[in-house]
């Protein structure tokens, strides 16, 4: 399960989410949803958000994976790297995901984002 949590780069994220997956973002920005019930609800929101975000994502690197006492749950630390298309500024932001995987599908995902790092990257001038 360790290398499979975010895909291999050739499959879209939705292909790994169970239809009834629950995705939670406890530290979402004000006014943003903190919970999505089901793959379709999440993908509709995420697709619109990514289309509106002026970032070209280029890399996702796992920095650590932690097993837990529950065999269905792992904690994943990772960094997303991208280029802000309006400025050319390239930046990374750290994330933590707590994933519950059952029968090879993600059924629960709690994502913790470094909102300050994301805001700094979006506001930065080109390097």
In 3-state terms the chain splits into helix, strand, coil percentages (rounded to 5) of 25, 45, 30
Which carries the bigger pLDDT value, residue 2 or residue 11? 11
**Average pLDDT for 46-60:** 85
At 15 the pLDDT is 85
Residue of 52, 36, 125, 40 whose CA lies nearest to 89: 125
* pLDDT tens-place string over residues 16-36: 999 999 999 999 888 999 999
CATH number of 16-123: 3.10.450.50
Give the phi and the psi of residue 3 in degrees, each rounded to 5.
-80, -10
Residue of 42, 40, 33, 12 whose CA lies nearest to 109: 42
* pLDDT tens-place string over residues 102-126: 999 999 999 998 888 888 887 876 6
């Amino acid at each position: 399960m360790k290398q499979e949590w975010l895909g291999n780069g050739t499959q879209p994220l939705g292909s790994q989410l169970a239809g009834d997956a629950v995705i939670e973002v406890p530290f979402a920005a004000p006014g943003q949803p903190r919970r999505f019930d089901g793959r379709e609800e999440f993908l509709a929101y995420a697709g619109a958000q990514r289309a509106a975000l002026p970032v070209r994502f280029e890399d996702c690197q796992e920095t650590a994976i932690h097993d837990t006492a529950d065999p269905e749950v792992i904690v994943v630390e990772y960094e997303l790297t991208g280029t802000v298309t309006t400025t050319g500024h390239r930046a990374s932001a750290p994330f933590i995901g707590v994933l519950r995987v059952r029968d090879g599908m993600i059924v629960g995902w709690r994502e913790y984002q470094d909102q300050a790092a994301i805001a700094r990257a979006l506001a930065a001038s080109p390097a």
